[in-house]
Amino acid sequence: NGWAVDGWALPDEVLRDAPTYTPKPSELADLELLLSDAYAPLTGFLGSTDLIALRRTGRLADGTAWPVPVTLEVPRNLADQLDVSNPLRRVLVLADLEGAPIAALDTTEIYPARKTTAGVAGRVRRLGDGGHGAFRRMRRTPAEVRETLPTGRILGVIADRPLHRPQLAQIARAARTLAAHLLVLVPVDSPGPDGLAPEALVRCVLAARDRMPSSTIVALPLPHHDGDDIRDAMLRTRVAAAYGVTHLLASSESMLSGGGLRVLVPRELAYDGRDGQWRSLDDIPPRHRRLPLTTAEIEDHLDRGTILPEWHTPPAVARELARARPPRRQRGLVVFFTGLSGSGKSTMATGLADALQETGERTITLLDGDIVRRHLSAGLGFSAEDRDTNIRRIGWVAAEIGRHGGVAVCCPIAPYRDARAAARNFARNAGAGFVLVHVSTPLEECERRDRKGLYAKARAGLIKGMTGIDDPYEVPLDAELTIDTTDLSHGEAVTTVLRYLGSNGWIDPR
């Protein structure tokens, strides 16, 4: 059969019998770029020979310059089901987060990765119709886009943040100087640096469209590879080149020219109060000069619900942004109490929930540790793994409540940092606020209270793995608020939290 030569006449039974795996989000982003040919000349996930060459020389084994390892890791036991020597048994079906098949991997190598995972390498081929999702029609392949671009120079912009007037002015200047057509690439694989959901970012960019020279706007994933910003910037340059960009407006210092493409570092612009134009900083006398708002200033406007000033942001963009990030008082919120058993977190959480219910500002859901364990986490115990699962479930549900504008009040022990960080991340990705309250009442006091008699049992060796006794509590380093209830009344403790939420704009000040 045609298998060995071009490798891609997949018999139905092979696909049916092949194991299926959903890669993690950054790998899925890599996969999409491989499938769309944005990573050309790469056609699949890299194997060990290329990875070694890449680490040593910054080039693949055949000498092609390539910035980042594009790899796929799967659980060992899954890799064990593949047989690279048998073309009919080496296919791995790759599925999206919903489990729908999107690609077939023709595995040509399995190499050791981490303790429980293996790296799998080989060509990928698209299965199905390319999937669904918001703004899918904007996810076009380089070939499709290049076909529609005019001849001549193409100015590329990677819009990982909404475009305000300073950026729009830089773009307009560069496009005019180069007499170039504009190609805007909007990364949509994960929330951008401003924490905006991908769809919200696309809406913000589209809202600026009538302020741009004639343009083509494309949505695409641009994955991050293990904190290597410089290499990621190089990869972005390559992807831009694949889409036909000849001149790329740098969005970070670390962007370098390469792959037949020039990177332009734009001049710093300021608003000239004399005539309302944006021009080079140095051409404006200081007293007429207004610098672009910083990210923190923009966030502050959004948090408070004040409209972004028109000199800085086109009203249509300001409206989209305000919709995507409503003022804190209306935004979803997760208040996450963590602390030892008996520290007072349940009491505080209940008191907080009651107080918020009374004001009727937003809908409130109390995810109390014990209640959660009866329903959402029924059947879980107190092993490290079960506690992790418990906290992730709570974090996920809380984030969904926040996504819909409600307040979730959670109060599990949540003894591990990683799980708490995951909960914070869920909330962030859902566009909700997250306030971690560490109820830091010391163990001696919790043990003295011993409402449930658990500490006594643990000391007597009747129960194992009690947090604080023979199971660790990792003290948070990122708590927004730390409260020791040893000498506080119930009312005082709740008031402390309410004051914090009020003075930070999450609820009406009190």
- Interaction of residue 467 with ligand PPS, rule CB under 6 A: yes
Tokens of 491: 């009312």
Q: What is the CA radius of gyration of the chain?
A: 27
- Interaction of residue 346 with ligand PPS, rule CB under 6 A: yes
- Interaction of residue 341 with ligand PPS, rule CB under 6 A: yes
Cα 486 from chain centroid (whole Å): 38
Stretch in the footprint of ligand PPS (CB under 6 A) among 29-37, 101-109, 365-373, 397-405: 365-373
- Interaction of residue 344 with ligand PPS, rule CB under 6 A: no
The CB-side HSE value for 340 (13 A sphere, CA atoms) comes to 30
CB closer to ligand PPS, 165 vs 387: 387
Tokens of 367: 């995810």
Amino acid in the structure at residue 501: L
- Interaction of residue 410 with ligand PPS, rule CB under 6 A: no
- Candidates 245, 318, 454, 498; binder of ligand PPS (CB under 6 A) is 454
CB closer to ligand PPS, 29 vs 367: 367
CB closer to ligand PPS, 165 vs 420: 420
The residue written with tokens 């659980």 in the block is 75
Kind of pairing between the strands at 269-272 and 289-290: antiparallel
- Are 101 and 95 spatial neighbours (Cβ–Cβ below 8 Å)? yes
Size of the residue set binding ligand PPS (CB under 6 A): 21
Nearest to 187 by CA among 26, 424, 426, 314: 26
Q: How far apart are the C-alpha atoms of 325 and 317, rounded to whole Å? A: 12
Tokens of 439: 């109820």
CB closer to ligand PPS, 237 vs 467: 467
Q: How far apart are the C-alpha atoms of 237 and 146, rounded to whole Å? A: 16
Q: How far apart are the C-alpha atoms of 232 and 249, rounded to whole Å? A: 16
Query: Count of residues for the chain?
Result: 510
Residues 382 to 401 in contact with ligand PPS, rule: CB under 6 A: 382, 387, 390-391
Q: Which residues, at least 6 apart from 158, have a Cβ–Cβ distance to it below 8 Å?
A: 185, 187, 222, 236, 240, 248, 249, 251
- Interaction of residue 452 with ligand PPS, rule CB under 6 A: yes
Residue 435 host element (H or E): strand 433-439
CB closer to ligand PPS, 107 vs 347: 347
The nearest distance, CB 495 to ligand PPS, in angstroms, is 21
The nearest distance, CB 422 to ligand PPS, in angstroms, is 13
- Interaction of residue 438 with ligand PPS, rule CB under 6 A: no
CB closer to ligand PPS, 46 vs 413: 413
Stretch in the footprint of ligand PPS (CB under 6 A) among 94-102, 141-149, 409-417, 436-444: 409-417
CB closer to ligand PPS, 37 vs 388: 388
The nearest distance, CB 379 to ligand PPS, in angstroms, is 12
Q: How far apart are the C-alpha atoms of 458 and 59, rounded to whole Å? A: 57
The nearest distance, CB 481 to ligand PPS, in angstroms, is 18
- Interaction of residue 412 with ligand PPS, rule CB under 6 A: yes
DSSP class of 202: H
Stretch in the footprint of ligand PPS (CB under 6 A) among 133-141, 229-237, 279-287, 369-377: 369-377
CB closer to ligand PPS, 221 vs 369: 369
C-beta neighbour count of 211 within 10 angstroms: 17
CB closer to ligand PPS, 170 vs 467: 467
Cα dihedral: 311, 316, 318, 323 (round 10): 170
| Contact map string, positions 202 to 241, toward ligand PPS, x by CB under 6 A | ----------------------------------------
- What is the edge-to-edge ordering of all strands in the sheet holding 269-272? 277-280, 269-272, 289-290
Stretch in the footprint of ligand PPS (CB under 6 A) among 125-133, 281-289, 359-367, 406-414: 406-414
Stretch in the footprint of ligand PPS (CB under 6 A) among 43-51, 167-175, 212-220, 410-418: 410-418
Residue 339 host element (H or E): strand 333-339
Using DSSP, state whether 77 is helix, strand or coil. Answer: helix
- Interaction of residue 420 with ligand PPS, rule CB under 6 A: no
| Contact map string, positions 281 to 320, toward ligand PPS, x by CB under 6 A | ----------------------------------------
Q: Which residues, at least 6 apart from 495, have a Cβ–Cβ distance to it below 8 Å?
A: none
- Interaction of residue 414 with ligand PPS, rule CB under 6 A: yes
Tokens of 16: 């049916």
- Interaction of residue 22 with ligand PPS, rule CB under 6 A: no
Which residues contact ligand PPS (rule: CB under 6 A)? 341-342, 346, 369-370, 373, 382, 387, 390-391, 412-415, 452, 454, 463, 465-467, 471
